[in-house]
Homo-oligomer: A and B are copies of this chain.
Amino acid sequence: MTPKPAADPNAPSLNPLARKLAIYDTLTDREIARLAEAIGGYRDVAAGEDIVGVDQRTVFSTVILEGWAARYKLLPNGRRQITALHIPGDFVDLHSFLLHVMDQGVTALSHCHVAQVPHEALRKITDSEPHLTRLLWMSTLTDGALHREWLAAMGQMPTAAQAAHLVCELYLRLDAVDLVSNAGFAFPMTQVELADTLGVSTVHLNRTVQELRAMKLITWSGGRLTVLDFPRLAKLGQFDPTYLHQRREPR
């Protein structure tokens, strides 16, 4: 109940977008207000439905308030690669603000409640709020950092390690937005989707999951995943959280 000072990223009243940006740097009240004003509308998307289509020219970007989503690319050969997983607070397509054309689609992995931010509003922010602009830019940079880390994991680690790495990453990202409880979290993905994320077949993914279970590193059932031994999981996944850049400092 303190009057106004810096945004407390753990304040439950904070909208998810401001809370996410506050992971990286302190926001002023004015900036929080500017973010709130920028929201043009809300929408609900059913699981399995596209939030943004591929090749689409967009006039707004979308933030997830509740639910999970995935960026994906469909290849001409019919296969699908999921290139990013998005949780509440994430901008699923902030990059479309400047790229204009979506090179990949975004689909809802679970029921999603989202907010839409018109590109016109983003442009105004970039014209008048340099610091907020840098934080928005930063949020796309962390996306890139995750992509690079995924590339390294996919190219150089066996599937079990790659899966362990992903679980560690999700754990910390979800924890940063208070979605971890009792060392676990709601995990709405199917094994098919997870296989498309790691770039392996479902059959092989299934065996990999069972391996992790047998090693007593995780449990996963009924849409909930629990980490039983984070240190060992991190070791198997060669996980170093540096790339998440979850540090609040002047940007």
Contact = CB atoms under 8 A, between A and B. Distances in A.
Contacts of A100: 245, 249, 251
A134 interface: yes
A251 B98 contact: yes
Contacts of A144: 95, 140, 143-144, 147
Interface string A117-138: 0000000001100100110011
Contacts of A196: 155
A150 interface: yes
Oligomer copy total: 2
Contact residues on A (Cβ < 8 Å of other chain), bracket: 35 or more
A154 B199 contact: yes
Interface string A46-80: 00000000010000000000000001010111011
A30 B224 CA distance: 55
A224 B72 CA distance: 34
A195 to B, nearest CB: 10
Given A81-B156, A155-B198, 12 more contacts: A71-B148, A73-B148, A75-B157, A80-B156, A81-B151, A103-B149, A103-B243, A126-B133, A126-B134, A147-B147, A154-B199, A156-B199
